[in-house]
Structures are given as C-alpha cells and as structure tokens.
Chain A
Amino acid sequence: TTPVHHQDVLTLNDHVWPKWQSIIMHSDGTHSLHFWVNRVLGHLMALERGGMGQQDQHDSQRLEMLKARAVTLRAKRDQIKQQTDVVKILKDKISKDLPLEDDAAAAGGFIEQQKSMLTAWRMQLKDLQRAHHLIGGYELVECKEGKSVCVSFHTAFEGVYLETYNMELDLTRTVQISRHNIPPSFPLESFAKQNLQKDFKAFLQTLSQNLNALAARRRQVCLLKELVGSVEVMESNQLCNILVLMCTAQSETPKAVLCTLEYGDLSQCLPTRVSIECEGTTHHNLTEPG
C-alpha cells in the first residue's frame, strides 16, 4: 500500500487513534494498531455515492437501489437535523445564561443535550490534538496495553508539511527502539545511545531537530530541481548532507561551475562548507565558522 499522510484522528472502540502514514506489520502477521487508510474510506464513500451506475445492472434493480438510498439519506438528514436543532437550543440556553435542566425539558431531550455537550468537548480535545501536531509536536500512542509506545515525528519546512517518521518503543524492561521508518543512514543508534535511557525528552527533541533538518535539506534539493533550470544536481546522498551542483555562469562565454555543498551539522539545513570549482580558474572555498 502506498503511504498516505496522517490527517486526522479516528475514534474506534473508545480510543482515539491517529491515522498513520505507513502501515507497520509485525513479523508474525499481527498488527499492533488498527489503521484506517484515508483513501479506503474515500473509496467507500465514492462507491456509496456514485458507484451504483454499473452498466451491467438491471434497470429495475437500479431503481430499487436508488429508492433505498434516498430513504437512507432522508433518515440520516432528519437525524442530523434533529441533532443540530438540539445543539442550537443548547447554544441558545447557554448564551442567555438559562439553566439547562428544567421541568419543561423532556427526559429524552436532556440526554440529547448532554450528548451534545460531550460532543462539543470532544471536538475541542480533537482540535487541541490537531493544533499540537500542526505546531510540530510529537504524537504518542500507547500500544499493547502500555508495553510499548509509538511516536510520530511530523516534519515541515517553511510551512510545507513533509514526511512523518514513526518509531515504536518497547517499554518492557528498558526503553528500546523496536520498529521505525527512519532512513538507515540517519544516526539513530548514536542518538539513542546518548539519551534514550537517561533523558527521553531530550532524545525526542534531538530526533525532531535532526529529522526536520533532514526533511528540509531534502525539500531544498527538490525545490532546486523544480525551480532553478540552470542548475543541475549532480550528486546527492540519502542524508542530503553532500550536494554537488553544476551551475552555468553567465559571462561572455558561459562557463560551467561546479559547487560542492557540505552540511557538517546534521541538525541544520544550511551548509557549513561550500567549495566552488570553475574550469580554468582556482578553487574557492567558503567555510562557515563554527
């Protein structure tokens, strides 16, 4: 399955699950989390709405289906209308500072009201969670009844949200990384050695910093390829910390200029050293102090 980006949370069995970018499977075939892929839901919805126009279906069958569909939708519409009315009454009462419980309210109506209030609050919690993730916070999901925790790192560069990296941590004896989708060239082991046992918060912070820098460098290479026609990317690597570009210098005779960018600090997305070679002239080296 192609990975899809995490978009929202889904309530299932009274737990709030995020929709993951990629599906993680155990070696024994079980899943540690249930996943709803956005696309699958979208497809189901599309099938529900328009997919009934299958050419080989009998006309009368189709008519029956349409009729049934209309009835279902009508019922759904009525139900939602009723809920919306209850919510509007709730809003009205709260705005006018009226008591929510009164003798005139039928018992059934009051329960509807309670449900609405809970929904309002649930929505606020959902909003808060979304806000946290939008500002780049880590997402934590407890799995296997507390035996492991899954962390998601959302990366972004200049307002554009990029890859999400996921990591499962086993908590049974010591904290250990059991599964992840971080590229192998990333120095995950060394970060884990530094901080994972002593300072979990610092570990997450270092990872977030470096993963964001990686995503940013990668994005910059993409943008370079897309937007700047006169520059050719000759060489790059998985960590995007070495970049070799061929640029064309505009002069009386256009010259080819080879630029090598080295990114010495993996937590940053700017190069620490640039060297420029131009045919016929000497090297120029630029190094960023520190």
Chain B
Amino acid sequence: MEQKYEEEIQMLQQEIEMLEAEQEETLRYIFMEHGDRLQRELKSVYKERGGAQKHTLSKLITETEINGITLNECFVKTLHKSERKLVQQLRLAGHCSVLLFQVEFAVTEIQEDDALLRRVTELNIVVDGVEFKDFSAFVSRVEDTKDLTLLFRTLRTFSERCEERRQTFQHFQEKYPDVVSLPEGCRSELMIIRSPQLPGISMTIFWKIDVSMEGVVKPSLELLLKMPDQAREFDTKKVMENGSDYFQSLLRVLGVEASIEGLIRTVCL
C-alpha cells in the first residue's frame, strides 16, 4: 500500500519537473521568436501591473551602463537540468560602445556538497568592427582557453582606447580641416597631416592599439615622415631620419594630444 503511494509520488514529481521544463521552453520560445509582438502586448499589461518588472528592468539598465556592455540579444537553451547539474547554451549579441560582438557558449554547473562548480565548456566568438583587425590572435586564444570573462574585460578596455583614439582624431580633423585628413575614417588607426602650401610633405601618424594574447591592451603611436627627394637636400638637420624618434620623445614629455597639436602647428605656417 505504502509502495503504491511512493511510486505515485515519484511519478508525479517527474511529471512536474517535465511540465515545468516544457513551460520554460515554451516561454523562452515565445520570447525568442515573437519578442516584438510580446513587447507590444505587454505594454498595456505593464501599465496595470508593472511594479516588480520596472524594478528589475531599471536595475538591469543601471548594471548595463556601469558594466559598459550592452546585450541586445540573449538566447538561453537548457540542455540538462537536475537537482545537482545544469547545462545551458547561451547565445549573446550586443555591443561595447561601437564594437559589436556575438558569443555562443555553453555553461555547466555542478552543485557539490558545499560549493557550486561552474565552467564554460564551449566558446565561439565573432567580433565586428574596423578596429578589430589586430584582434584575431587574442580571440583565437580566448576561444581555446574558454576565458569568456577575459574576453569582455579586454573588450571593455580595448573599446575605451579605441574611443580615445577616435575622439582625438575627430577633434583634430574638425579643428584643422585643411591640414588633417583621415583617409580611412575616424575609427581607423591612420591620420595624415599635410599642408596645402607644402606639397609632397606629409606626416602620417599610426595609432595602433595592440592586444596581446593575454589580453593586455597597449596603444602605441608612430610617426612616418614623407618628403620629396628634392627637399631632402635641404634636410641638413636630418629631420627625416630622426623625426620618428623625436616624436616618441615628444609623446613621453607632452602626451598624445599636445604632441599631435605640436606637429600640426609646424605645418600651419
């Protein structure tokens, strides 16, 4: 008699687990495939009983702003769920300032006696943006080591350095439109300084932002001078040879903005 009840109880528990999983799947599906429609329908419902949602949403927004990473898409698929183990696949897409990314990864969580063990078991990364041309070595390394959090920490720092570069380049182009040109746009690493009164002479600044395999972000600036052959005769002070070294000294003393400003001023005669 007891056994009959015990069996029924176990069966019911399994059924409940299954139904809950089914419900979760269906709800996720609805949001995934028909998020727009859902949001529209929710707008009216929201006004009536939005309380708790508003709180969660505003908290999420604050966290996003402070984190610097915006997630536009978040798809979660639960592959396995039991009392002690959870396996999920996630697909996230978003941006960090102007840098776009898409990551797919799997997470396994195992509940041991007194600790929760969580690890990333698969990782695929796609990054998009003109700034990323030297990023691929780092990305491959992170995919191999599954270091998801390193990716985003580095992405944040990298995007800050890129933003500094972009703002500086744009600032100088706006301030000295006749002399400064950005042939590959303000998001590239190239800025050319040329005076219309001095044809054939140009100064090119390469502002590289290097990312090592360990995720260390290092900006570096280099100067390339071009002068027509006829002018070289007059280069008694060997400016062409030493110019780039002088520029490095200037950077150390004055910093980036002041150094570039100084260079530009020399051609604004």
Chain A residues in the interface with B (C-beta under 8 A): 2, 4-7, 11, 14-16, 38-39, 42, 45, 49, 59, 62-63, 66-67, 69-70, 73-74, 76-77, 80-81, 83-84, 87-88, 90-91, 94-95, 97, 100, 114, 116-125, 127-132, 134-142, 154-161, 200-201, 204-205, 208-209, 212, 268-270
Contact = CB atoms under 8 A, between A and B. Distances in A.
B147 A157 contact: yes
B76 A127 contact: yes
B111 interface: yes
Contacts of B39: 121
Given A63-B1, A122-B56, A140-B66, A127 B22 contact: no
Interface stretch (B117-125, B128-136, B173-181, B251-259): B117-125
By DSSP majority rule, is chain B's interface helix, strand, loop, or mixed? helix
By DSSP majority rule, is chain A's interface helix, strand, loop, or mixed? helix
Contacts of B31: 120-121, 123-124
A21 to B, nearest CB: 9
Interface stretch (B46-54, B190-198, B239-247): B46-54
Given A7-B116, A161-B119, A268-B216, A94 B147 contact: no
Contacts of A269: 214
Interface stretch (B11-19, B202-210, B225-233): B11-19
In the complex, which of the residues B9, B120, B146 has the most CB atoms of chain A within 10 Å of its own CB atom?
A: B9
A196 B161 CA distance: 21
Interface stretch (B149-157, B162-170, B261-269): B149-157
A209 B153 contact: yes
A159 B145 contact: yes
B142 to A, nearest CB: 9
Contacts of B12: 70, 73-74, 76-77
B114 interface: yes
A63 to B, nearest CB: 6
Interface in B49-70: 49, 51-53, 55-57, 59-60, 62-64, 66-69
Interface string B12-49: 11011001101110111111011101110110010001
A132 B13 contact: no
Contacts of B27: 87, 116, 119-120, 123
In the complex, which of the residues B2, B66, B67, B71 has the most CB atoms of chain A within 10 Å of its own CB atom?
A: B67
Contacts of B156: 205
A210 B234 CA distance: 53
Nearest to B92: A131
B74 interface: yes
B157 to A, nearest CB: 8
Given A137-B63, A209-B153, A88 B26 contact: yes
B5 A67 contact: yes
Given A70-B9, A156-B148, A159-B146, A16 B2 contact: no
Contacts of A67: 5
Contacts of A268: 214, 216
A96 B116 CA distance: 42
B38 A201 contact: no
Contact of A135 (B35, B59, B148): B148
Contact of A70 (B5, B45, B123): B5
Given A88-B26, A157-B147, A268-B214, A136 B152 contact: yes
B184 interface: no
29 contacts: A16-B56, A45-B83, A49-B13, A59-B2, A63-B1, A67-B5, A70-B5, A76-B12, A87-B23, A90-B30, A91-B26, A94-B38, A120-B27, A121-B39, A121-B53, A122-B56, A123-B24, A124-B35, A125-B53, A129-B63, A140-B62, A140-B63, A141-B59, A156-B120, A158-B145, A159-B123, A159-B147, A160-B120, A209-B153
B9 A132 contact: no
Given A121-B31, A121-B42, A124-B74, A87 B64 contact: no
Interface string B98-112: 000001000101010
Contact of B149 (A6, A81, A116, A136): A136
